[in-house]
Amino acid sequence: MKKVLLMAIAFCFTFATYPAMADPAAGEALFKGSAKCKNCHKVTAKKKVGPGLAAVVDRAGEDWIKGFLADPKAVWTADEGYTKTLKAAVERVEKPKPKHKTKKLTEQQISDLVDYLKTLK
């Protein structure tokens, strides 16, 4: 009986800390709703205020996007990797980062948004 109880407790602790799966539908809802991404970005390759996001995961990489969504100013200031490409594309190589008017996103929201961005080809 003790073995079963210990196994049950171990099972609960194992899955209680397991991260939730990302949900592209939730990411799309954020993109179009409370995250306000659609105010500045199109889901095509065409620029709006910010760059078009079609195939952005292929261009920038998942880790870069997650970092940018978590702290856009820090990624812009670091001036590494895809940031240099982005600065050249938006003609802001020697300029400060434009305001990124999104609210602070949770890790789950960022994962959901990235999964949604993966669907944009």
Given the candidates 3.40.50.2000, 1.10.760.10, 3.20.20.10, 3.30.70.20, the CATH classification of the domain at 21-118 is 1.10.760.10
pTM listed for this prediction: 0.79
What is the gyration radius of the CA atoms in the chain, in angstroms?
18
Closest CA to 115 of 69, 75, 76: 69
Contact present, 10 and 3 (Cβ < 8 Å): no
- pLDDT tens for each residue of 43-88: 999 999 889 999 999 999 999 999 999 999 899 999 999 999 999 8
